[in-house]
Amino acid sequence: MYNLFRFFLRYHLFILFLSLEVFCFYLSYRTRRYNEAAYSNFANGISGRVFDTYTGITDYLYLRRMSDSLVRENAILRQKLVESKFDNRVDSTGVNDSSGRYVQHFTYITARVIYNSVNHASNLIYLNRGKQQGLTKQMGVFNANGIVGQVISVTDNYAAVMSVLSKDFKVSAKLKKSEFFGNMHWDGINSTTATLEEIPKHVPVKIGDTIVTSGFSELFPRNLMIGTVKSVKTEPDKNFLDLTVNLSTNFGNLSYVYVVKNIRRDELQNLDSLAHKND
């Protein structure tokens, strides 16, 4: 017993160091594991407010390149695009009944980016919209140039978005020309490129081909721009192509973005759980 005490007395600093370090690792592990923005909503609210004030000041420096009203108008226009509608026809050869053919499938909420980073292993973006403006977890985010990310946590007035430039971000993407689809994720270093996987080897792909969203996930409507093919590599021991994609979104200067609200999401998720119940 005496020796035990002596041990603790002698190494108490190192033990303190180790236990705090373990606690830090636990914190960062938990954040990663559950894919959540760090800390409680309270802490996010505080940092959200600080960044909001900061953007409020720096906005004058950029002379408000885009006005809010223009962006709102764009959102309304996008809502009217065919891609945002749900095709309600059962008989595809039937006569078009213009009254009941299209039902709204996606709506868009505009938001301003108040914090953004591109140099980390997992980059986060803060938006000045939250629960009260209708945002929830698992909503897609894009801007006029391409996709931006996915909402991972919301407070009353702010939301944290996992950027495409994150280790854990995955999106279902397809080649616009041939409709072959695969999973796209970021490689972790270059903020302008990402990797597209699972495109079979026999598919003809040229440099410069357009990559768009497939619409398979509930995050994004189909045919949203993602980028263009930068390079194509084949490896003899793999059945799939190694595609590098030039992202069309410039993550360095995001200012206004759209958040995708999928009206049929709950229904899709229900279907998903039903389908898996039968496994």
Partner 1 sequence: MINQIPINLLRLFLLLMLQVLIFSHINFSAFVNPYVFPLFILLLPFETPRWLLMLLGFAAGLALDIFLNSTGMHAAACLLIGYLRPFLISIITPKGTEFEISPNIYAQGLTWFVVYLGVATAIYLGFYFLLEAATFLNFFFLLLKTILSTIISVAFMLIFLYLFSSKKVRRFA
**Binding site residues, partner 1, CB under 8 A:** 12-13, 16-17, 20-21, 23-28, 30-32, 37-39, 43, 46-47, 50, 54, 116-122, 124, 160, 167, 188-191, 252
CB of 164 to partner 1, least distance (A): 15
DSSP 3-state assignment of 164? strand
Task: Report the residue number, 16 or 268, with the smaller CB distance to partner 1.
Answer: 16
181: DSSP letter: E
Task: Report the residue number, 122 or 157, with the smaller CB distance to partner 1.
Answer: 122
Task: Report the residue number, 46 or 203, with the smaller CB distance to partner 1.
Answer: 46
What is the β-pairing status of strands 147-154 and 140-142? antiparallel
Burial (Cβ within 10 Å: 0-12, 13-18, ≥19) of residue 159: buried
CB of 186 to partner 1, least distance (A): 12
User: Which segments within the chain are labelled E, that is strand?
Assistant: 85-87, 102-104, 106-116, 122-127, 140-142, 147-154, 159-166, 170-175, 181-186, 193-197, 210-213, 225-234, 241-247, 256-262
Distance, in Å, from the CA atom of 241 to the CA atom of 25, rounded to the nearest integer, reads 36
Burial (Cβ within 10 Å: 0-12, 13-18, ≥19) of residue 127: buried
Show the tokens assigned to 277. 């119940």
Task: Report the residue number, 25 or 86, with the smaller CB distance to partner 1.
Answer: 25
CB of 34 to partner 1, least distance (A): 11
Q: Other C-beta atoms within 10 Å of 63: how many?
A: 6
With contact defined as beta carbons under 8 Å apart, do 49 and 42 qualify? no
CB of 173 to partner 1, least distance (A): 23
User: Which segments within 12-146 are labelled E, that is strand?
Assistant: 85-87, 102-104, 106-116, 122-127, 140-142
Task: Report the residue number, 26 or 86, with the smaller CB distance to partner 1.
Answer: 26
Distance, in Å, from the CA atom of 245 to the CA atom of 184, rounded to the nearest integer, reads 9
Task: Report the residue number, 125 or 175, with the smaller CB distance to partner 1.
Answer: 125
Task: Report the residue number, 200 or 252, with the smaller CB distance to partner 1.
Answer: 252
Q: What is the CA radius of gyration of the chain?
A: 23
